[in-house]
Structure 1
């Protein structure tokens, strides 16, 4: 047997041994590292007005963290948040706040700006707190 054949066989044995060691290190049932469990949806704000509205998911300084485009929800594009904490009503503006409970949308109240309005993180009998902003107008 030639010297190069011996080296080739030794290299092949070494590669197989390493593959066996590293293959046994992770159980077969282990999920790939790239798979992440989605966050549970806790609450959302639906912007049913014709303008973008400032919204927040965290209690931070300032009036809002992001602008939610018209006819979008905070749990969808472009934000994909698992919760919504507040919205901002600009100076000279009013907006109606609605919530979903027991199979239908119910009026909460009209908010006048300028102010940040915090929405509840739970609604009795509902697994997700659903909030909707409607009828944005000058006031």
Structure 2
């Protein structure tokens, strides 16, 4: 299996087990080793008391994209820490895209930057995640 095929098989296994991402309508549009892209429509029930997208849902989109990128090598990987900066308000009816790019992978620790953009391509949030590999694989490894 090529690294790209493994990344896609891993993503498929993760997505099938990810009830949260599916319930929120997050769509995985691309995955490859160390990279993932997801999209989300901003539904009316995603709006907060200010009539803009709840930051927690933008965080969830970025965090899920981070998860698909850092698990793309088929080594179980979890978040060890993360931060987000909200840069622009997001209105209902918009469509957000999140793109996760691996910045560093040394030993069991990775650093990933996730840019969240709106339909116009404007950056609405920047997320940085630190990952830690743990035991196990998402897709059974052939001997």
TM-score by length of 2: 0.31
Larger proportion of helix: 2
| TM-score, normalised relative to structure 1 | 0.32
The structure whose Rg is larger is 1
